[in-house]
Amino acid sequence: MRYSGKVWTAGLTVGLALLSSAAFAAPKKMADLSALGITGGKTGGTYSLALGDSPQSFNYYGAIDNNLGLVAQQLFDGLLEFNLQTYKLEGALAESWKISSDGKVYTFKLRKDVKWSDGKDFTADDVVFTYDQVITNPEAKSGDVANFTIGGQKVKFEAVDKLTVRMTLAKAAPAFLLQLRAFIVPKHKFLKYSVEGGAKPADINTVWPTNVDPSEVVGTGAFKLASYTAGQKVALVRNPNYWKVDSSGQKLPYMDKLEFLIIRDPQQQVAGFLAGNLDQLNITGAQFPDLKAKEVAGATFKVFRFTALFGSPPHLAFNFDAKEPVLQKLFSDVKFRQAVQSAVNRPRIIDTIYNGLATLPGHGVAPANGDWYADTTKYLGKFDLAAAGSALDKLKIKDTDGDGVRNIPGGKNLEFDLTYGTDSSVYPAMASILQNDFKALGIKVNLKGILAKDLLATGRAGNFEAILLAFGDQPDPELRKPIWQPGGSLYYWHRSTLPAKDGDPANTAAMAPWEKQIYDIFNSAATETNKAKRKALYTRWQYLFAQNLPVIMIAKPNNVAVVQNRVGNYIYNLGVIPGYNPVPLVFEK
């Protein structure tokens, strides 16, 4: 599952003690969050946010689209969610759950008071259908077959009765509960597009295109879709059937409307915020100084900054399966990637692009994540063009014709395209820095700009030579398995390791020995119930990552946001991702 950026200032504990036979319950009321500055909200008003581009669909599982994800988190709920104060899992659509003593059987009791936004009852059939027909449908573009295939077998989903769901695993999986924040969709709207309803597997992706009648988009979340103006705005209105109330019993959400204004250019987003058209905006370190100066000078907004656990550290990836054989061979050579890493000027990038509001990155785990992070800083090395040049010399990559560009053995210039997002607030400057430093090293880099929303699709299609991209960090490495395990659905830089077709095993024959080790580590860690052993496995993975560089990690940005003073009950200690800063808690003062 995909989530956007967030911050945590201490080690997380979620996911470590989840394997238990005890029952857990969460009341319908939101917990008392006064310690976080949360008080009773005023009803009414409109809350406006920026959306970087138009959503590709209103079916979360029908497209890989972060913009869709931001909207979907307001329309749908999962079985579980994180508590805002403790960051431990608690019930959402599931009121309570029990886990068998062997850790293989999970039984969930659903809330009896939940209805879909169209008034239909929410039942166990909706949950089973969502997991069995949508999430684990191998053709669903944003499905998640891998994390629900445990011990080589698909998880078994059963409706015991109208309000009870049972999930049976082949082996115990200590991070399984963390997967159950996935959005539940309405069976009565999806059935005819599913295999159960007689459709083809890929038809699930055709549910709710952007020209759908808004009344057809049905969820259990705080809001429901009111209208969509292509390229301009996604408008949501309060869901009258929403099941949550605040700690005093007041019905949520507080606001009448939630609007996402589609603004692609980051500077135009800032302009919209300064004009008062946006209530809150996530910004970068590059945008921080000017906005902070305005706050200090008396502007009617506040700037928030926190060290990040969640959030998306950018990386530089080379295509191991590049179309040109000479580049394919070169990019697959770890010695080449290690040489190039020495030419990545992280201090300059952190200082000039992020204005110091970033740190050195981890390798698949955020440094702020005390539960799982292994300190691999020494493997990042230092910016040293001389050392990089010496390493390339040893690979016999030298300028043999005197044109200032090194030649790959055989005579071809060392030249490649670097794909980046032109509408990003950080990628253009980052690409320029890399291009200039690589030029000094004797590598010719041709910048190839595309829209940021197309970066992942370009990577997954293999239509790149080198690319700047980013994936968000998560509390438990198991949640990033599709990214970092070779053969995973998002392991785009070495696509030949992917299964021949959906549902097949990964192509281990195409893996380098270190990749096969990582592949085995993730399989073992997924079912290892001993905390210390899991920690050791994931530590080993991070060291293999740092030494072999499937991608070159660049920096870990802080989370920074600006919020209008008219907004109350705003929490940014963990940024803005599903379950952490629910819009229902925000109100206009």
In order of 165, 184, 291, 306, 580, the CA distances from 90 in angstroms are 16, 16, 37, 24, 12
Task: Work out the mean pLDDT of the chain and round it to a whole number.
Answer: 89
Q: Is the pLDDT of residue 364 over 60?
A: yes
β pairing state of 415-421 and 444-450: parallel
CATH architecture of 314-557: Roll (3.10)
What are 2-33's pLDDT values in tens digits?
222 222 222 222 222 222 223 333 335 665 55
**Cis omega before residue 186 (within 30°)?**
no
pLDDT, tens digit, 9 for 90 and up, residues 227-247: 999 999 999 999 999 998 877
Phi, psi of 556 (to 5 degrees): -115, 100
CA diameter of the chain = 77
Q: In the numeric block, which tokens belong to residue 190?
A: 């999806």
Closest CA to 343 of 423, 287, 418, 285: 418
Q: Evaluate if pTM is beyond 0.95.
A: no
The separation between the first and the last C-alpha atoms of the chain, rounded to the nearest angstrom, is 34
Confidence of residue 293 (pLDDT cuts 50, 70, 90): very high
Instruction: Tally Cβ neighbours within 10 Å of residue 518.
Output: 24
CA distance 433 to 435: 5
Reading the block at residue 445, the tokens are 């880099």
Q: In which band, very low, low, confident or very high, does the pLDDT at 404 lie, cut at 50, 70 and 90?
A: very high
Confidence tier at 482 by pLDDT (50, 70, 90): very high
Domain extents in the chain: 24-252+559-588, 314-557
Say which CATH architecture domain 24-252+559-588 belongs to: 3-Layer(aba) Sandwich (3.40)
Where does residue 167 rank: exposed (0-12), middle (13-18), buried (19+ CB within 10 A)?
buried
The predicted pLDDT at position 572 comes to 62
Q: How far apart are CA 317 and CA 493, in angstroms?
A: 6
Q: Is 182 within 8 Å of 135 (Cβ atoms)?
A: yes
pLDDT of residue 37: 61
Q: Do domains 24-252+559-588 and 314-557 have the same CATH topology?
A: no
pLDDT at 145: 87
Record the tokens describing residue 364, joined without a space: 């698949």
Q: Is the pLDDT of residue 338 over 50?
A: yes
